[in-house]
Structure formats: structure tokens, C-alpha cells
């Protein structure tokens, strides 16, 4: 029976084999290119839209130097009409017909609204293609938007990410979870790869990774300077522990290191925690492969990670759940656990500063 | 026995990161707070977090509150199992995304912005006609062969005309993807033409969206334009009309717009929170916002004791400041300033240096930012070390100061300041809490300072909707810890000059005379509940607030800290030299007992 004094803790999932379902959908309407039940590869396009849309409102009455009530007389196109760049939308004779004032379409698209003096067009942007990224089976179709894919593989949840999605072969750059990657560790073989670092990366490592066109980066922690740098460059990055210089949690490093060279996805657009997904090789799956449980229980003996304070990033096990709160050095009176660290020592940690890991 | 039939109650406050639950019951002739529990808010199903927090209450109080399958037992069964009712409040939904379209940035748009800072809303775009050329100046003309033309060339062409500020502003608005567009402008009875122009713009953008994705439009401008605005917008979007937010040049009227936004938050955010339908079915009343519930608390206490009250709630995602003076109240909700997931926005808004200004120990900007970033990544976490707490309190000071300054909080003539929020919950270091409030709000005069005992003060405001007696009793007896009476003069004295002579005669006996110097912070022991006669003689040029000229006499009550005399002047001036500044702040921590835990 569960210990009532132990609250359900959040879990950072580090799963060697999991079956997950992920929605892949576009924000605009388009065409779904795959059918229910079909198998998709990571780089297959599952949906396509002619444009992601670009609403462009213009003060047409003013442009035509007329009033909103008189504007309709000069219109050559109506709401709903398709537009080709430079189509005349409105035309008005001036100087007794000697000259014409015209408003032409600034691009291909469609007139979506004319309200009084303002006209709004939906101009076509670049076509958009949605990739599957999760290699698996299509289990649902979202009409005109996308699909839901069921996929099997290794799953690791991170703490922070930037840059969206990236897919490539996993390239290990360090031998231990505490390793720091600098620029000289990155060479031409980084092209198209997801780089695996340890406790951190230097600024020149980021610059070199971009120069060599790496697909993405997985790292234990980053400094504030690297965080600011990542906001200005195109290198999708996933952080597993936090900020500063924190070694990657050993279970995460060991799991990822085992998959060196395999195709790997990092995704920060999950709506929840960012995640790493490594699709299972078909040779490791046979029929209805039994999967280990994906949810851990908050109980004595459970593996936990400390997510705040001087021991941030440390892993241990819940050894005891004291019945009374304890006053911390900070002055806060908190309920928590006695956690046995890997070193064998025990520390009191508030429940709020712990998460299950595994 | 109380009149109400709902005697045993659970109150659940579903915050942006924590769900806190408190148990209140009728015990030996009075309503009492029995116990509390906290769990992580569960965004996929808010009821799960509530049940987990109730489970904590059950474990800590020994009272059975949940069925075997985890449902809250209501109504109460024989043997004190379950409760009569559960009431809930929340600040978990994302704020309402608001775009403001108005005529003048400094007038109507500014008034709308202040009204928006009365609920959980963030501004995603502002378009002011006066910034787009006022008269919507025409584009530069371009020879098109056949005659004069103003056609915009395809965007790829090199001879693209200068961008039209009106069209650029309009594109910003179209891209903003707002939940609500607020249309303001014009004083009542003033010109309307400009308003119709921007109403056309709003209508054109709104009509371009799919029907189920169109934003709501609220009109809070010149009342004479209502019919035309309804004609232009009403046919393409849901339009709500409220009183003009700026009826005259001299007068601002934010209340109606604030109330409408609060309603929108309830209808479109709270009710769409996953699990909210189930939670609402468990409660006898609607689930209200945390800010609204806290407003209930502040106004209730102001009315009950006839006091001018300020309530400050420093949460993970939002900072809320409520004042109540008689029937008049103000509400500031800054959904962009918090000390958890929004801590980076506090830094971006005010700058890391302003946060470091309030840290008593040496800490590099990098170290401070690393710690705050880790807190933003895990906003539920509790500071473990003294340094972490000092840093968090420094950030809380800046969040409060920013909200108070930008939204023009009036701290004059206050009788009582109430403090609550995740940044203060379960903190036994009461001196540090008091110092945080005095530094951040810098109120002056003579007033009482009290801190939320369990982080549940807003929840008791929601409790008042089903059982006002229980709420009143619990708030008075258990809800707050009185830190003490504060004397905080304004003074033009120099550091070290005598600012006040204080004489304190406790009813228990004895007399204490104290000479207080400008720049100092003094604590005079006076136990909670203990009364004393206070006599304060201010030095020339020292002001204790309106109506307190000459010798000030009053009956005061003690608190956990005692009588607090804050003679640092207003505004508090920090030394510019970093080392001296840190030493000064550390001195204040020592002076106010901020190094003592009262647990």
C-alpha cells in the first residue's frame, strides 16, 4: 500500500522502450497525405498546406482617395476572389478620366474581407510541409490538419529546449556525463547530426556546430550566455537538467550513449516537457513486444532527482518520509523526504524539489 | 452552532504551479482551519491535482476525505468522513491574450492598459491611430505606366514603396492572434470618425478568420459611437459594449472594462481548463479567479474592521495588488510578473541589476541568473538555503515594485497590509517577510503588517461565497500572522539625526522610551495580542502621514515581530557602492530579525 505521506511526484521519463502517441498537425488547413494505418518514416511528409497564411489588411478607401460608401463603385474584385500578384483590385478614374488610380494585389492570394474602408487579403506564403518525425503508424487522421502517430522507441524528457524540432543521427561527443564540449570537439562529421554533450557546451562549440550544420544538440545544462546565444541562432537544443554546469543525469547519459549513431528526434513543441525520441530498430521489436511500465510510483525506494538547491541534478532514492515538516536554512517549513544519494549519504529534500526519474 | 448548513469545507486553490487545499470545520463552537495540503497543478486534468492535495490533507489530519477510488466525499458522512462542500478558485489558465486598438496611445490606450492590468491578461499588440500617421497618410505614389497608381509592388521587387504605417500596424494586429480585441478611443461626446476607421480595420481582420477562431471584440470608447460600432463589427464578431474607459480627458473609468475582462477570463479560460467541468460539478458555486477571491478577502476585512487595506499576492505567475478603502477598491493583476515561471519576465522587464540591488550577499549576475532560470524551469521548488531565499525575495521585491510603480499603486493612508503568495508560503522567517514588504511597497504612516499563515488567504475569499461566517472566523483567527504595527515616517532628516521619540507603555506594565534615528530600522518587542499605548513625537520635518501632525498617540497591538519602526525614509535610498549597499541591506535583515526562523 502506498505511503500516504508521500505525495505523487512529477516524473521525468527516461524510458528505454516506450509506445507513445503524438499529434502532428498544422495550424492552417491543408491536405493530409497519408492514410489511416499507414506506416510513416521520420522524414515522410504527412500533410501539406499551400501557405501558412499571411493576413494583410490595407486601408483601401484611403488608398483610392474615396469614401467607404463610394468604394464599392471602384472595386474590380470581390470578397472571396482569388488574387494573382498585380491583379487590379480597385480602379478609379482621375483627372476626368485621363488618369487611373489603381490598387493592385501585392501577391497571390485571396480577398478575405472588405469592411467599410479596410480590405483584408490572405496572401500566400511559402508552401508548408509537415514531417512525421515520429517513425510509426498513423492511428488517426485530423481532417485537413494532420495525423496522430503511434511510435515505439526510447523516450527521454528534458527540462528546457529551444529551436523546435530536429532529426538526425546521434553523435556522442563526450565519454562522461560531466564532460564539457568545446569547438575543437566538433568537426565535419557533425553535419546533420544530433550532438550529445555532457554538463555543458562552450560558445565556440555552438558556433562550430552551426558552421558544420549540425541538426541539433542535447546537453545536461547551459549557461545564461549560451541560452541567450541559442535564441539568436538556428540550432535546436534540448537541456536535460537545467542551467549552470550540471552533469547530465547518469541514467539519461547511459541510455543515450547506448543509441549512438541511431536516428534521434528532439522536439520542443510537445506542449509539455521537451523530449528526445529514438525510434526502436525493427530488429528489437517482434510482434506485440511487451513494454516496461512508463509510470513510476512515489514510494520508498523510488529513484528521484533533486531539481533545486545546492544538490541540483543529484540522483538518489527515497529512504524515508518524515511525518513532520522540517524548517530549512531558508526559513521555510517544508514536508519532504530523506533521500539517500548515490554516495550513500542522506539529505532532507522538500517534496517540491524532487521528481521521479526513470 | 452556525446558521449555515455547509460547516465542513475544503477550499482548493488551483494555481499556475501549485494546487493548495485547506480544510475548515466547526470545532468546539467556532470555525477553525484544520490542515492543508499541496500538490502540483495538473494541466491535463485540474481535478487530479485537487485530489492529490486533498490526499495530503487526509494524510496530515487523519480525517477521511476521499473514497477508495479517490473521489472527494461530499456531503459529510457520519464519523466526520468527508466534508459538506468543496469550493475552488484558480489562476491556472493562461492569461487572456488582449490586443488594444485605440486613437491615442497616451490617453485612451493608456487607460485601457491600466484596466487590463486588473485581471489575468497579457497585451499582445497595441495599435494607436496617432502612431500610424493620425490621418492615415497615403502611400508614396509610383508611376505605373498607364496612369497614376498607388499599387504596392510585389514584395520581391526592388522598387517596393515605403511601407504604410497604418498597414504595418494593421498587419501587427492581424498577426497577434488575440483572444480579445479591445477597441477604445474618444471621450464621450467627442469626434467619432477616427473610431469608425479603426472599427473597420478590426472588422476586416476579424471577418478574415474562420468563424470559430474569431476574437471577441470589446468596445470601451466614446458612447456616441456605439450604434455605428455595433453596425460595423456586430455582424462579423461577438461584440460587447462597456462604459467608456476614458469618458473625459480628466477622468478614467476602468471598472466596467475590468469587470468584462474578468468575465471573459471566467468564461473563456477558467471554464476551458481541462477537468474544470468536473470540478465545477463538485462545487456548489462557480469557480472564481484567485485575484477575485483575494479581492473578496481584502474588501471583506476593510469593511469588517473599517480599515484601509492593501493586499499583496506574489505568485509564481502573477503579482496582484488590491486596495480597499471603504467601498472604493482598486485591483492590479500583473500576469507578466511572478517569481516562478515568470521570473525571467521580471528580469527582462526591470533588469538583473535591480534584482541584485536587493541581495545582501555577494552573488555574481551569472550565479543569480542561473539560480533564477532553474527556478523558472521548476517553479514549484522551495528555496533550501538562506542565499536562495534572499535571491527569491529580491526578485519578489522587484516584481512588487514594478507593478506598484507602473500601475500607480496608492499606498497613502493605509491601516493594514496583508501579504500572501507562493513566495512567502510556510516561511518562518517573518522578519525577512516584513522587510520584503517594507522595501518593495515603501508605505508610510502607521499601519499593521500581516502575512498569510498557510498561503491560503485567497482561498478563504472563495470560502466566503458559501459560508461568510466561516471565512470571517478563519481569516481572523487562523488566516494571517500579525507581524506587528509599523511606524514609517517620511523625513527630510540626515542619516543619524533623531527622527522620532517613541514612548511605549504596554498594558502589562513598564514603559519604554526610544530615540529613533533617521536611516534606522528598529524592533520593539510587543508580543502578539499584547496591547500598548504608543506616543510618537516626530522631529521637525518628519511626517507620519495625513492627520498625524504633532504628537501622535494610539493604542497598538503587538505581533510576531513586535513594534516595527522603519525610519529609513521614503523613498528608501540604497548606497551606490555595491559593498556598502550589501552591508546596509544585511544590517536591515539583522535589525528586523530577518536572520531568525520562527518555526
Q: Does B370 touch chain A (CB under 8 A)?
A: yes
Q: What is the CATH number of the domain that holds A194?
A: 3.50.30.10
How many Å apart are CA B311 and CA A159, to the nearest integer?
34
Output the CA–CA distances (angstroms, integers) from residue B226 to A118, B192, B221, B223, B253, in the order listed: 19, 10, 8, 5, 17
Strands (E) across B191-292 are located at 216-219, 239-241, 288-289
Question: Chain B residues with CB inside 8 Å of A227's CB?
Answer: 373
Residue A227 belongs to a domain: yes
φ, ψ dihedrals at A79, nearest 5°? -60, 130
Chain A interface test: which of B382, B424, B596 (most A C-beta within 10 Å) = B382
pLDDT one-digit tens code per residue, B519-555: 999 999 999 989 999 999 999 889 888 777 788 999 9
Residue A154 belongs to a domain: yes
Q: Which of residues 232-271 of B touch A (CB under 8 A)?
A: 232, 236
φ, ψ dihedrals at B49, nearest 5°? -60, -40
| pLDDT at res. B598 | 61
Q: Does B599 touch chain A (CB under 8 A)?
A: yes
Q: Which of residues 400-429 of B touch A (CB under 8 A)?
A: 425-429
Dihedral-angle region of residue B432 (phi above 0 means left; psi in -120 to 50 means alpha; beta otherwise) = alpha
Q: Report the chain B residue with the minimal C-alpha distance to residue A120.
A: B204
Peptide bond into B75 cis (omega under 30): yes
Residue A2 belongs to a domain: no
Q: Report the chain B residue with the minimal C-alpha distance to residue A354.
A: B381
Residue A4 belongs to a domain: no
pLDDT one-digit tens code per residue, B186-240: 899 988 888 998 999 999 999 999 888 899 999 999 999 999 999 999 999 999 9
Q: Please check the confidence at residue B146 and state whether its pLDDT lies above 50.
A: no
The alpha carbon of residue B191 is apart from the nearest alpha carbon of chain A, in Å, by: 17
Are A36 and A176 found together in one domain?
yes
The sign one gets for the Cα dihedral B162, B167, B173, B177 is negative
| pLDDT at res. A303 | 96
| pLDDT at res. B426 | 76
CB contact under 8 A, B171 and A122: no
Q: Would you say A251 and A177 are in contact if contact means Cβ atoms under 8 Å apart?
A: no
pLDDT band at B137 (very low <50, low <70, confident <90, very high): very low
Hey, which residues does A85 pair with through a beta bridge?
Answer: none
Residue A333 belongs to a domain: yes
Q: Please check the confidence at residue B76 and state whether its pLDDT lies above 90.
A: no
CB contact under 8 A, A334 and B155: no
Residue A7 belongs to a domain: no
Q: What is the ipTM of this complex?
A: 0.91
Q: Cell numbers at residue A288, please? A: 506485440
| pLDDT at res. A289 | 60
Please classify residue A247 by burial: count the beta carbons closer than 10 Å to its beta carbon, then call 0-12 exposed, 13-18 middle and 19+ buried: buried
| pLDDT at res. B423 | 78
The sign one gets for the Cα dihedral B217, B222, B223, B226 is negative
Structural domains present in chain B: 9-90 (3.30.420.40), 96-137+162-268 (3.40.50.2300), 290-591 (no CATH)
φ, ψ dihedrals at B191, nearest 5°? -65, 150
pLDDT band at B3 (very low <50, low <70, confident <90, very high): very low
Question: Chain A residues with CB inside 8 Å of B369's CB?
Answer: 224, 243
What DSSP string describes B563-599? EEEE-S-SSPPPPSSHHHHHHHHHHHHHHTTTT----
Are A157 and A274 found together in one domain?
yes
Are A269 and A200 found together in one domain?
yes
Quickly count: other Cβ atoms within 10 Å of residue B34's Cβ.
18
Residue A243 belongs to a domain: yes
How many Å apart are CA B489 and CA A270, to the nearest integer?
53
The set of residues, in sequence order, having a beta carbon less than 8 Å from that of B220 and lying 6+ positions away, is: B112, B115, B182, B183, B184, B241, B242, B243, B244, B245, B256, B257, B260
CB contact under 8 A, B369 and A62: no
Q: Which of residues 117-136 of A touch B (CB under 8 A)?
A: 117-120, 122
CB contact under 8 A, A7 and B55: yes
| pLDDT at res. A267 | 95
CB contact under 8 A, A112 and B199: no
How many Å apart are CA A91 and CA A76, to the nearest integer?
7
Q: Which of B200, B383, B384 sits opposite A116 (nearest CB)?
A: B200
Q: Which of B351, B353, B297, B302 is nearest to B320 (CA)?
A: B297
Query: Across residues A2-22, what is the average pLDDT?
Result: 90
Question: Chain A residues with CB inside 8 Å of B388's CB?
Answer: 308-309, 330
The number of CA neighbours under 13 Å toward the Cβ of A333 is 15
Place of cell 539625526: B497
Q: Report the chain B residue with the minimal C-alpha distance to residue A56.
A: B171
Q: Cell numbers at residue A53, please? A: 497564411
DSSP state of B214: P
The alpha carbon of residue B430 is apart from the nearest alpha carbon of chain A, in Å, by: 9
Higher-confidence residue of A80 and B593: namely A80
Q: Which of B161, B176, B172, B221 is nearest to B197 (CA)?
A: B221
Higher-confidence residue of B52 and B142: namely B52
pLDDT one-digit tens code per residue, A259-288: 999 999 999 988 789 999 999 986 666 555
Output the CA–CA distances (angstroms, integers) from residue A266 to A133, A156, A203, A233, A281, in the order listed: 9, 9, 21, 16, 17
Q: Which of residues 187-206 of B touch A (CB under 8 A)?
A: 196-197, 199-201, 203-205
Q: Would you say A150 and A246 are in contact if contact means Cβ atoms under 8 Å apart?
A: no
Are A239 and A176 found together in one domain?
yes
Q: Cell numbers at residue B264, please? A: 471573459
Are A316 and A211 found together in one domain?
no
| pLDDT at res. A290 | 64
CB contact under 8 A, A227 and B154: no
pLDDT band at B155 (very low <50, low <70, confident <90, very high): very low
Helix (H) or strand (E) holding A278: strand A275-279
Query: Across residues A224-241, what is the average pLDDT?
Result: 96
| pLDDT at res. B373 | 96
The set of residues, in sequence order, having a beta carbon less than 8 Å from that of B232 and lying 6+ positions away, is: A115, A116, B196, B199, B200, B203
pLDDT band at B157 (very low <50, low <70, confident <90, very high): very low
Q: Does A98 touch chain B (CB under 8 A)?
A: yes
pLDDT one-digit tens code per residue, B422-463: 878 778 889 999 999 999 999 999 999 999 988 889 999 999
Q: Which of A58, A307, A327 sits opposite B597 (nearest CB)?
A: A327
φ, ψ dihedrals at B299, nearest 5°? -70, -35
| pLDDT at res. A1 | 55
Q: Cell numbers at residue A354, please? A: 524532487
Q: Which of B146, B167, B382 sits opposite A353 (nearest CB)?
A: B382
Q: Cell numbers at residue B565, please? A: 519602526
Are A114 and A141 found together in one domain?
no
Q: Please check the confidence at residue B2 and state whether its pLDDT lies above 90.
A: no
The share of chain B scoring above pLDDT 70, in percent, equals 93
Question: Chain A residues with CB inside 8 Å of B56's CB?
Answer: 7
Q: Which residue among A249, A284, A319 closes a domain?
A: A284
| pLDDT at res. B158 | 42
CB contact under 8 A, A243 and B389: no
- Residues A102, A108, A113, A115: what is their CA dihedral angle, to the nearest 10 degrees? -30
Q: Please check the confidence at residue B149 and state whether its pLDDT lies above 70.
A: no
The set of residues, in sequence order, having a beta carbon less than 8 Å from that of A228 and lying 6+ positions away, is: none
Question: Chain A residues with CB inside 8 Å of B381's CB?
Answer: 307-309, 350, 352-353
Query: Across residues B155-181, what is the average pLDDT?
Result: 76
Q: Does A8 touch chain B (CB under 8 A)?
A: yes
| pLDDT at res. B354 | 96
Q: Report the chain A residue with the minimal C-alpha distance to residue B383.
A: A330
Are A149 and A242 found together in one domain?
yes
φ, ψ dihedrals at B202, nearest 5°? -60, -45
Are A85 and A158 found together in one domain?
no
Are A42 and A167 found together in one domain?
yes
CB contact under 8 A, B205 and A332: no
| pLDDT at res. B143 | 35
Question: Chain A residues with CB inside 8 Å of B149's CB?
Answer: 100-104
Question: Chain B residues with CB inside 8 Å of A349's CB?
Answer: 384
Q: Which of residues 163-222 of A touch B (CB under 8 A)?
A: none
| pLDDT at res. B535 | 94
Question: Chain B residues with CB inside 8 Å of A225's CB?
Answer: 366
Q: Does B148 touch chain A (CB under 8 A)?
A: yes
| pLDDT at res. B161 | 54
| pLDDT at res. B193 | 84
Q: Which long-range contacts (CB under 8 A, 24 or more apart) does A123-127 make?
A: A123/A51, A123/A54, A123/A55, A123/A56, A123/A83, A124/A50, A124/A51, A124/A54, A125/A51, A125/A52, A125/A53, A125/A54, A126/A51, A126/A52, A127/A48, A127/A49, A127/A50, A127/A51
Strands (E) across A95-135 are located at 99-104, 109-115, 118-123, 128-131
pLDDT one-digit tens code per residue, A281-324: 866 665 556 676 778 888 999 999 999 999 999 999 999 999 99
Are A182 and A211 found together in one domain?
yes
Q: Which of A225, A244, A328 sits opposite B384 (nearest CB)?
A: A328
Is beta strand B416-420 parallel, antiparallel or unpaired with respect to B490-491?
A: unpaired
Domain hosting residue A342, numbered range: 303-357
Quickly count: other Cβ atoms within 10 Å of residue A178's Cβ.
16
How many Å apart are CA A341 and CA A345, to the nearest integer?
6
Are A194 and A313 found together in one domain?
no
Q: Does B166 touch chain A (CB under 8 A)?
A: yes
Q: Which residue among A284, A314, A342 closes a domain?
A: A284
Strands (E) across B349-421 are located at 416-420
Are A183 and A322 found together in one domain?
no
CB contact under 8 A, A4 and B58: yes
Higher-confidence residue of B552 and B139: namely B552
Q: What is the CATH number of the domain that holds A336?
A: 2.30.30.30
pLDDT one-digit tens code per residue, B364-403: 999 999 999 999 999 999 999 999 999 999 999 999 999 9
Residue A293 belongs to a domain: no
Query: Across residues B53-66, what is the average pLDDT?
Result: 92
CB contact under 8 A, A98 and B154: no
CB contact under 8 A, A57 and B171: yes
| pLDDT at res. B595 | 75
Place of cell 472604493: B328
Query: Across residues A67-78, what is the average pLDDT?
Result: 94
Tally of structural domains, chain A: 3
Q: Report the chain B residue with the minimal C-alpha distance to residue A309.
A: B384
Q: Which residue among A80, A98, A123 closes a domain?
A: A123
Place of cell 536554512: A329
The set of residues, in sequence order, having a beta carbon less than 8 Å from that of B235 and lying 6+ positions away, is: none
Q: Would you say A317 and A339 are in contact if contact means Cβ atoms under 8 Å apart?
A: yes
Helical axes B430-441 vs B386-406, angle rounded to 10°? 30
The alpha carbon of residue A108 is apart from the nearest alpha carbon of chain B, in Å, by: 9
Question: Chain A residues with CB inside 8 Å of B204's CB?
Answer: 57, 113-116, 118-120
The set of residues, in sequence order, having a beta carbon less than 8 Å from that of B372 and lying 6+ positions away, is: B343, B344, B347, B355, B391, B395
Amino acid at each position: 500500500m502506498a505511503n500516504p505521506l508521500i505525495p505523487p511526484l512529477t516524473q521525468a521519463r527516461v524510458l528505454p522502450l516506450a509506445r507513445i502517441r503524438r499529434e502532428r498537425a498544422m495550424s492552417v488547413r491543408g491536405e493530409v497525405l497519408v492514410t489511416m494505418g499507414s506506416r510513416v518514416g521520420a522524414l515522410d511528409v504527412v500533410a501539406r498546406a499551400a501557405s501558412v497564411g499571411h493576413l494583410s489588411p490595407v486601408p483601401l478607401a484611403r488608398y483610392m482617395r474615396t469614401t467607404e460608401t463610394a468604394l464599392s463603385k471602384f472595386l474590380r474584385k470581390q470578397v472571396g476572389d482569388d488574387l494573382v500578384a498585380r491583379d487590379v483590385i480597385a480602379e478609379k478614374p482621375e483627372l476626368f478620366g485621363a488618369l487611373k488610380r489603381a490598387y493592385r494585389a501585392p501577391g497571390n492570394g485571396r480577398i478575405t474581407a472588405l469592411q467599410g474602408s479596410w480590405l483584408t487579403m490572405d496572401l500566400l506564403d511559402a508552401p508548408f510541409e509537415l514531417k512525421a518525425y515520429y517513425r510509426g503508424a498513423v492511428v488517426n487522421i485530423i481532417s485537413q490538419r494532420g495525423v496522430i502517430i503511434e511510435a515505439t522507441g526510447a523516450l527521454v524528457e528534458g527540462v528546457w529546449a529551444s529551436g523546435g524540432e530536429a532529426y538526425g543521427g546521434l553523435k556522442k561527443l563526450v565519454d562522461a556525463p560531466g564532460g564539457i564540449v568545446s569547438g575543437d570537439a566538433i568537426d565535419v562529421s557533425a553535419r546533420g547530426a544530433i550532438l550529445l554533450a555532457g554538463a555543458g557546451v562552450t560558445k565556440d562549440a555552438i558556433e562550430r556546430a552551426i558552421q558544420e550544420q549540425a541538426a541539433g544538440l542535447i546537453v545536461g545544462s547551459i549557461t545564461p550566455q549560451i541560452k541567450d546565444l541559442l535564441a539568436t541562432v538556428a540550432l535546436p537544443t534540448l537541456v536535460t537538467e537545467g542551467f549552470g554546469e550540471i552533469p547530465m543525469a547518469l541514467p539519461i547519459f547511459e541510455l543515450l550513449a547506448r543509441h549512438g549513431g541511431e536516428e534521434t528526434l528532439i522536439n520542443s513543441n510537445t506542449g509539455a516537457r521537451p523530449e528526445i525520441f529514438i525510434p526502436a530498430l525493427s530488429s528489437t521489436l517482434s510482434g506485440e513486444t511487451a513494454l516496461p511500465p512508463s509510470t513510476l510510483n512515489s514510494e520508498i525506494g523510488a529513484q528521484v532527482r533533486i531539481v533545486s538547491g545546492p544538490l541540483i541534478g543529484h540522483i538518489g532514492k527515497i529512504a524515508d518520509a518524515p511525518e513532520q515538516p522540517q524548517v530549512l536554512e531558508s526559513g521555510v517549513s517544508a514536508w519532504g523526504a530523506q533521500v539517500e544519494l548515490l554516495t550513500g549519504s542522506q539529505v532532507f529534500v522538500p517534496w517540491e524539489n524532487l521528481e521521479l526519474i526513470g | 452552532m452556525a446558521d449555515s448548513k455547509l460547516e465542513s469545507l475544503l477550499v482548493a486553490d488551483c494555481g499556475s504551479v501549485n494546487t493548495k487545499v485547506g480544510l475548515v470545520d466547526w470545532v468546539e463552537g467556532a470555525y477553525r482551519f484544520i490542515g492543508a495540503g499541496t500538490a502540483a497543478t495538473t494541466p491535463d486534468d485540474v481535478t487530479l491535482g485537487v485530489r492529490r492535495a486533498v490526499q495530503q490533507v487526509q494524510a496530515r489530519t487523519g480525517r477521511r476525505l476521499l473514497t477508495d477510488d479517490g473521489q472527494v466525499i461530499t456531503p459529510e458522512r457520519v464519523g466526520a468522513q468527508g466534508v459538506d462542500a468543496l469550493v475552488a478558485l484558480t489562476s491556472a489558465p493562461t492569461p487572456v491574450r488582449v490586443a488594444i486598438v485605440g486613437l491615442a496611445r497616451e490617453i485612451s490606450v493608456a487607460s485601457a492598459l491600466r484596466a487590463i492590468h486588473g485581471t489575468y491578461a497579457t497585451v499582445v499588440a497595441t495599435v494607436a491611430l496617432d502612431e500610424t500617421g493620425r490621418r492615415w497618410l497615403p502611400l508614396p505614389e509610383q508611376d505605373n505606366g498607364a496612369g497614376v497608381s498607388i499599387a504596392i509592388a510585389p514584395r520581391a521587387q526592388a522598387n517596393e514603396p515605403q511601407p504604410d504605417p497604418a498597414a504595418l500596424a494593421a498587419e501587427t494586429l492581424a498577426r497577434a492572434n488575440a483572444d480579445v480585441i479591445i477597441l477604445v478611443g474618444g471621450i464621450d461626446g467627442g469626434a467619432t470618425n477616427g473610431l469608425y476607421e479603426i472599427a473597420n480595420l478590426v472588422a476586416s481582420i476579424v471577418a478574415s478568420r474562420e468563424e470559430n477562431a474569431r476574437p471577441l471584440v470589446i468596445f470601451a470608447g466614446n458612447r456616441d459611437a456605439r450604434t455605428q460600432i455595433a453596425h460595423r463589427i456586430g455582424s462579423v464578431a461577438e461584440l460587447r459594449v462597456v462604459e467608456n474607459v476614458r469618458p473625459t480627458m480628466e477622468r478614467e473609468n476602468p471598472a466596467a472594462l475590468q469587470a468584462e475582462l474578468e468575465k471573459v477570463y471566467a468564461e473563456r479560460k477558467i471554464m476551458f481548463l481541462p477537468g474544470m467541468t468536473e470540478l465545477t460539478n463538485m462545487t456548489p458555486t462557480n469557480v472564481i479567479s484567485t485575484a477575485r477571491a483575494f479581492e473578496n478577502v481584502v474588501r471583506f476585512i476593510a469593511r469588517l474592521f473599517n480599515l484601509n487595506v492593501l493586499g499583496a499576492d506574489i505568485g509564481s505567475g502573477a503579482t496582484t495588488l488590491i486596495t480597499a478603502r471603504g467601498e472604493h477598491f482598486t485591483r492590479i493583476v500583473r500576469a507578466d510578473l511572478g517569481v516562478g515561471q515568470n521570473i525571467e519576465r521580471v528580469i527582462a522587464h526591470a533588469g538583473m541589476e535591480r534584482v541584485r540591488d536587493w541581495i545582501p550577499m555577494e552573488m555574481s549576475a551569472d550565479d543569480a541568473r542561473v539560480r533564477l532560470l532553474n527556478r523558472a524551469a521548476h517553479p514549484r521548488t522551495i528555496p533550501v538555503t538562506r542565499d536562495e531565499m534572499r535571491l527569491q525575495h529580491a526578485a519578489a521585491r522587484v516584481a512588487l515594485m514594478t507593478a506598484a510603480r507602473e500601475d500607480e499603486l496608492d499606498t497613502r493612508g493605509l491601516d493594514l497590509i496583508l501579504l500572501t503568495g507562493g513566495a512567502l508560503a510556510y516561511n518562518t522567517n517573518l522578519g525577512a517577510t516584513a522587510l520584503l514588504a517594507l522595501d518593495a511597497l515603501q508605505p508610510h504612516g502607521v499601519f499593521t503588517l500581516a502575512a498569510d499563515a498557510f498561503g491560503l488567504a485567497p482561498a478563504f475569499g472563495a470560502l466566503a461565497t458559501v459560508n461568510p461566517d466561516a471565512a470571517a472566523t478563519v481569516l481572523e483567527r487562523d488566516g494571517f500572522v500579525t507581524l506587528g504595527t509599523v511606524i514609517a515616517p517620511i523625513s527630510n532628516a540626515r542619516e543619524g539625526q533623531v527622527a522620532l521619540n517613541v514612548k511605549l507603555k504596554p498594558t502589562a506594565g513598564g514603559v519604554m522610551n526610544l530615540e529613533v534615528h533617521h536611516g534606522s530600522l528598529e524592533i520593539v518587542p510587543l508580543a502578539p495580542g499584547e496591547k500598548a499605548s504608543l506616543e510618537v513625537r516626530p522631529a521637525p520635518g518628519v511626517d507620519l502621514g495625513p492627520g498625524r501632525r504633532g504628537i501622535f498617540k494610539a493604542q497598538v497591538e503587538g505581533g510576531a515581530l513586535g513594534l516595527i519602526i522603519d525610519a529609513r525614509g521614503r523613498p528608501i535610498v540604497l548606497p551606490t557602492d555595491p559593498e556598502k549597499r550589501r552591508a546596509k541591506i544585511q544590517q536591515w535583515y539583522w535589525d528586523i530579525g530577518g536572520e531568525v526562523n520562527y518555526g
